[in-house]
Amino acid sequence: MTNPEAQAIAERELCGLINGMAQQIAEHVRQRAVKLGLTAPQATALRELTGPMTMRELADRMSCEPSNATFIVDKLEQRELIERCPHPSDRRAKHLKLTPRGDALREELLALLHEESPLAGLTQPERDTLQQLLARATAGPAGHAPRA
């Protein structure tokens, strides 16, 4: 039988480590974004825009509401980094695409994010294991990821 107090302490410590890592990553993204004249959410949108996708898909990748993603995309569109194009199969939806300028800035951002990353101290197998463990832990009891 497991001691509930020891279990609570271990869980609190683990949560503290995860929260600390999340804060380090967020600060890392913010610092790199500023170098490019972006906000952290704008940098996150550019990082996540790996190809044409809908606003809903981008919002899901950013773990935010579509209305928040729309605000961010509006700002990126004003800077001519993203464009809204007709969706190939859904008349009601738009596809978000990087412009050539946005693609170049995204490449620069990815290079900056790689520099001194909070995860740089881990080997690739360790990162893979961490990703698998976090994916399993966040999947919830039924094995499905919780809704953002």
Condensed to tens digits (0 to 9), the pLDDT of residues 70-95 reads 999 999 999 999 999 988 888 888 89
Instruction: Please tell me the pTM assigned to this model.
Output: 0.82
Name the residue among 62, 58, 59, 105 with its Cα closest to residue 80.
105
Condensed to tens digits (0 to 9), the pLDDT of residues 116-139 reads 899 999 999 999 999 999 999 888
What the block records as the tokens of 83 is 């464009």
| Cβ-contact 63, 146 below 8 angstroms | no
- Model confidence at 115: pLDDT above 50: yes
Q: How close are the terminal C-alpha atoms of the chain, in Å?
A: 34
| Cβ-contact 45, 58 below 8 angstroms | yes
pLDDT at 87: 86
What residue spans define the domains of the chain?
11-119
As a whole number of Å, the CA-based R_g of the chain is 18
Categorize the per-residue pLDDT at 148 as very low, low, confident or very high, splitting at 50, 70 and 90.
very low
Condensed to tens digits (0 to 9), the pLDDT of residues 41-74 reads 999 999 999 999 999 999 999 999 989 999 999 9
Q: Which CATH number does 11-119 carry? A: 1.10.10.10
Burial of 106 from C-beta contacts in 10 A (0-12 / 13-18 / 19+): buried
Query: Helix 100-114 to helix 40-48 angle, to the nearest 10 degrees?
Result: 110
